[in-house]
Amino acid sequence: MNRNRIKIKCNNMKKYVVAAAMLISLSVAAQKDELKALRKLSNKETPPTAQEIQEFKALLDKAEPLMANATTEQKADFYYYKGEYAFVEMLNPAKAQQAINSAVENFNKVIEIEKAGKKNHTKEIQEEIFPQLKTGMLQTARQLGKQNMFKEASGLFYLAYQIDPKDQANLYNAAAFAVNAKDYDTALTHYLELDRLGFTGEGTNYTAVNKQNNQREYFPNKQLRDVSVQNGLYINPKDEKLPSLKGDIVKNIALIYNQKGDIEKAKQAMSNARKANPDDSGLIIAEADLYLKTNDIEMYKKLTAEAAQKNPTNADLFYNLGVVTTETDKEEAKKHYEKALQINPNHVNANINMGTLMLANEEKIVKEMNSLGTSAKDNKRYDELKKQRDELFKKAMPYYEKALKTEPDNEYAITMMANIYQALDMPAEAKAMKAKLKK
């Protein structure tokens, strides 16, 4: 987090020295006049020295055991300055993540303590510190995501959510990056919370391009974005409509349960998702995949057929139906593959599987050919069978050729074409195909 660390600046020495004054007052009961003098000293604009920072930390450590008998205001002050000290530790890359956690935790303690009394720090924390901290966290989280540091990005998005629980999109991002990090337990916890909150993610993203770095950046609202553009700092504003993420959330809950081996919870989660979103074809497909993973082929076929009915132009759905019906009903499978190829004539796998279906009886023919003797009758039968076999090859060829036209390096299609050319006494073509396999 060195290059992307979050930067929060204290205005001057005041915060450090006031903290020291407060802590000293806890232990030695400093008089008001002395506190006034210390506060006057704290107004110096110069940043704290290394020695002052060390003293600050020492005073924090000394004061902490005294908190049990401190007043409510003193406790709020203590946690406020403990949170401030975390900013210093953020400058150390090795401690940055832990320091961010500490800052958020301690500032939240201040807000909680001040709920029932004087609010000496709450306004500053909520209106100044947290917004700055959140902005820095989100910028860093996005950079970490681009560097494939998914676990770290997830943690920062979650902290941003803790700072501003109303912005539930950050909890969603925390869950998504946890999935990328293969931290499924954390992802599941976040997704379940999103489901409980009823989060859908629908809304609008307000973005514009930063003129300094030429990067498109997000704004919390339209007003702030528009002001930034008007001030000449940003260009090319865009309003991006966000679709509902409800289906994605419940689907991921089910898939994570399935990943963890809890099939019944996975099925229940998917069933609940379907009830809440009966027309979401993406959920139907996800549920079908879940049943396929549990080897419930009949339920898979039923759900895939339902999805195909709702998505009559989705070639993959008809291809999948062909795959699961090939073993039990080749004619039905053929119809599904033909439908897939009507929608997408260049569907590689549908073409390959259709070619394979054309050769379904080849093994039976070859077995009979090999069982024949050398009599005239047997020779005649052999010729008849060879002709039948050649016809199968000729029916299969166009499908493999179409697959190779779309995907020239498909090894399976190349191998099949080499075998077909050889069986049809086309040595030059067979040699060319075999040469492609050696490349």
How buried is 275 (Cβ within 10 angstroms: 0-12 exposed, 13-18 middle, 19+ buried)? exposed
Residue 370 predicted with pLDDT over 70: yes
Of the residues 126, 147, 168, which one is the last residue of a structural domain? 147
Residue 432 predicted with pLDDT over 70: yes
Predicted local distance difference test score (pLDDT) of residue 115: 92
Residue 154 predicted with pLDDT over 80: yes
Please state the rounded mean pLDDT for residues 155-168: 90
The total number of structural domains that make up the chain: 2
Predicted local distance difference test score (pLDDT) of residue 347: 95
Residue 365 predicted with pLDDT over 90: yes
Residue 343 predicted with pLDDT over 70: yes
Pull the structure tokens for residue 62.
């000394």
Please state the rounded mean pLDDT for residues 88-116: 81
Report the share of the chain in percent with pLDDT over 90.
40
Pull the structure tokens for residue 304.
């895939």
Q: Label residue 436 by pLDDT band (50, 70, 90).
A: confident
Q: Is 376 within a domain?
A: yes
Tell me the per-residue pLDDT of 7-46, one tens digit each, with 9 for 90 and over: 333 444 444 433 433 333 333 333 233 223 323 333 446 6
Residue 329 predicted with pLDDT over 80: yes
Q: Is 381 within a domain?
A: yes
If residue 207 lies in a helix (H) or strand (E), which one and from where to where? Answer: strand 203-210
Q: Is 125 within a domain?
A: yes
Residue 54 CA to residue 439 CA, distance in Å, equals 66
Entry field: residues in the chain: 439
Tell me the per-residue pLDDT of 58-74, one tens digit each, with 9 for 90 and over: 777 877 887 888 788 88
Please state the rounded mean pLDDT for residues 400-409: 94
Predicted local distance difference test score (pLDDT) of residue 353: 95
Q: Is 297 within a domain?
A: no
Q: Is 266 within a domain?
A: no
Pull the structure tokens for residue 368.
């009979």
Please state the rounded mean pLDDT for residues 81-90: 77
Residue 52 predicted with pLDDT over 80: no
Mean pLDDT of the chain: 82
303 closest CA partner among 328, 335, 281: 281
Bridge-based pairing of strands 234-242 and 216-219 is unpaired
Q: Is 408 within a domain?
A: yes
Please state the rounded mean pLDDT for residues 272-298: 78
Q: Label residue 235 by pLDDT band (50, 70, 90).
A: very high
Please state the rounded mean pLDDT for residues 303-330: 86
Is 89 in contact with 99 (CB distance < 8 Å)?
A: yes
Q: Is 342 within a domain?
A: no
Pull the structure tokens for residue 107.
């500032």
Return the SS3 of 219. strand
Of the residues 117, 147, 177, which one is the last residue of a structural domain? 147
Range of the domain at 59: 1-147
CATH number of the domain residue 430 falls in: 1.25.40
Q: Is 350 within a domain?
A: no
Predicted local distance difference test score (pLDDT) of residue 429: 92
Residue 229 CA to residue 209 CA, distance in Å, equals 9
Predicted local distance difference test score (pLDDT) of residue 17: 37
Tell me the per-residue pLDDT of 191-208, one tens digit each, with 9 for 90 and over: 999 999 999 888 898 999
Predicted local distance difference test score (pLDDT) of residue 46: 65
Beta bridge partners of 241: 204
Per-position b or e across 58-83, b if 16+ CB within 10 A of its CB: ebbeebeeeeeeeeeebbbbbbbbbb
Q: Label residue 48 by pLDDT band (50, 70, 90).
A: low
Predicted local distance difference test score (pLDDT) of residue 47: 65
Of the residues 147, 176, 207, which one is the last residue of a structural domain? 147
pLDDT higher at 240 or 290 = 240
- The answer to which of 212-221, 373-382, 403-412 has the lowest mean pLDDT is 212-221
